[in-house]
Amino acid sequence: MQNNCKNVYITTPIYYVNDVAHIGHAYTTIIADMLARYSRLTGHNTYFLTGTDEHGQKIAQSAEARGKTPKEYADEVSGKFKALWDDFGITYDKFIRTTDEEHKLGAQKAFEKMYAKGDIYKGEYEGFYCVSCETFFTEKQLIDEQFCPDCGKPTSIVKEESFFFKLSAYEDKLLKWYEENEDCILPRSKKNEIVNFVKNGLRDLSISRTSFEWGVKLPTSLNEPKHVMYVWLDALINYISALGYGSDEKNFNYWPASVHLVGKDILRFHAIYWPAFLMSLELPLPKHIAAHGWWTRDGEKMSKSKGNVVNPKEVADAYGLDAFRYFMLREVPFGQDGDFSQKALIDRINSDLGNDLGNLLNRISGMSGKYFDYKVDSKDVEKYHKKELDEVNAILENVEELIFNMQINRYLEEIWKVLTVANKAIGDYEPWTKMKEGKTDEAMALVALITNIMAKVAILLESVMPEKIALIATSLGIKINTELYNKVIVNKELLDTTTITKVDQLFPRIEEILLEQAPEVKKDKNEVEVKENEDLTEDNLITIDKFFETTIKVGTIVEAVEVPKSSKLLKLQVDLGEGRNRQVLAGIKEYYSAQELVGTQACVVANLKPAKLMGMLSEGMLLAAKDKDGLSLVRPEKPKISGTKIS
């Protein structure tokens, strides 16, 4: 997303109405809301879209199990999503539902146009289908010949008449787009995964179904009443139907999207299918597709069966919505997986928000009230504190680029550096000493410096914590808007004379956990953690049949990062040709750097039971050999297609 765009269009995924909103949904939506609020503050025409995805076989089955029609069930769950976002103060411009008539018109127009262009043809589909993921798979993509590689649930063999989209015809065009647009997929490590997937070859995509009826019907001009659109074609079209594509197109000037925010599990649909559909429709492609990671709880994967799913409303109600927003945006770099724990949240509230931010406002109120009857004048700030002003302005000079490159945690880190400058200045210059010495001008200049720094911080945090920042603005006697942003942030001007107003403590200290802890997860007795440097005590002879129970495949390492607090572990994302990457933890940090592994291949034990290491899931094991000269990974002599079996 470019900060010089006049029109800014921000989208979340439309959330599938098969469950209530969880922390992952909240994370995506809070990021999008932050981007939208910031874009409006900086003077851009901004359109923010969210909504719900309501068609497909899974919804029809869930509704039937509850004794409801699909529409009744979709109305109920969609209403809960909308109510939560309204309760959270999410500033969306439109909440779209794929059951909206205007969306159906847009999807039908898109289908008709792609068909007329020759990119859609009629055929027959036979293959494996996962109802849970609404996704088709080839046999080689499956786990143990029948299970979905994404969710692990059983697939079913589907054979039915279908319309196909010529996805294979767009392979070269997609690769060219990736090459020419460096930041079209963020973070860039995720882009490498997509490029590798496309380079392995694309198959034409089945885009209609006849085995169920709950979906958007094909255009009447095709005279195919038994077909409904494949849910992923239907769903992706929402990004343009929401702007009026196929109907009035009153807001279509916002296209192309500035950023599509998605979870990493649906990146392939957005970074391959969606741009190919847009190319077929001859529409501009989105500027950025940004994929974030998943959240665990206390180091454990969340699931209803474990009883450890985080309810975002319960957390916000207990700890405060703004504190929750700040934690989610600050705690983890965008694109990486994050871990939610109440202890970590409390630490952020007490340290970052209470001590650093809230306490600084208290000091402004205290000093201005004690020495100057709450009146603050900035006339001598540059005379006495040019050094501090220059330091603050230097920190903030390029901070906006971090937002628009999805480095929001670093954006917040830079703002906290500014707070450090302010708190340090109070200790360095001691206004109480200045007052005792009769240097009231210098004392006033210091209080005004701190007030101006707090004003800059408040402006830049308004999109992160709107409710608490509104209180800070009231205390400082300012109104945060585009005019003030341009004055204080862009032009680096100081505030005029202002009057400080005392407000209640922003972030009272929290001494104990406020919500019931998640139940402790008992490990399966067969779950074994990997032990490094484990020696075999004897050679156990096995039969050839026993040997072939082990599946070893060639894997391409598409991402590698160091595991914090571990001297040996690297966390790898490995492509085994399954349509998704596997996370593998390998104790090879002493012998390989993370950077040198990316793009290389290794031999991977692919059917090893997943294990937990330092609270993180490891879904395989790299083969390596170690002697007195060190450790070396076992690799194919020549590059092989990811997922090639070793025999």
Angle formed at CA 300 by CA 135 and CA 189, multiple of 5 degrees: 55
How many C-beta atoms lie closer than 10 Å to residue 9's C-beta? 28
Residue 422 neighbours by CB under 8 Å, 6+ apart: 360, 449, 450, 453, 454
d(Cα 481, Cα 144) in Å, to the nearest integer? 57
- List Cα–Cα distances, 23 to 27, 32, 84, 312, 386, in angstroms: 6, 14, 12, 5, 44
Task: Determine whether the annotation assigns residue 133 to a binding site.
Answer: yes
How many C-beta atoms lie closer than 10 Å to residue 428's C-beta? 9
User: Which letter does DSSP use for residue 474 in this model?
Assistant: H
Instruction: State whether the Cα torsion 141-143-144-145 is positive or negative.
Output: negative
Query: Residue 617 forms beta bridges with which residues?
Result: 612
Task: Determine whether the annotation assigns residue 184 to a binding site.
Answer: no
How many C-beta atoms lie closer than 10 Å to residue 36's C-beta? 25
95: three-class secondary structure by DSSP: strand
37: three-class secondary structure by DSSP: helix
d(Cα 189, Cα 574) in Å, to the nearest integer? 12
Instruction: At 348, give phi and psi (nearest 5°).
Output: -65, -45
CB of 286 within 8 A of CB of 186?
no
d(Cα 411, Cα 403) in Å, to the nearest integer? 6
Q: Long-range contact list for 246-249, CB < 8 A, 24+ apart? A: 246/102, 246/105, 246/106, 246/107, 246/108, 246/109, 246/110, 247/102, 247/105, 247/106
Instruction: At 31, give phi and psi (nearest 5°).
Output: -60, -50
Q: Long-range contact list for 247-256, CB < 8 A, 24+ apart? A: 247/102, 247/105, 247/106, 251/47, 253/7, 254/7, 254/8, 254/9, 254/45, 254/47, 255/9, 255/283, 255/284, 256/9, 256/283, 256/284, 256/285, 256/286, 256/287
- List Cα–Cα distances, 407 to 228, 331, 332, 351, in angstroms: 40, 12, 10, 22
Binding positions: 130, 133, 148, 151
Binding positions for Zn(2+): 130, 133, 148, 151
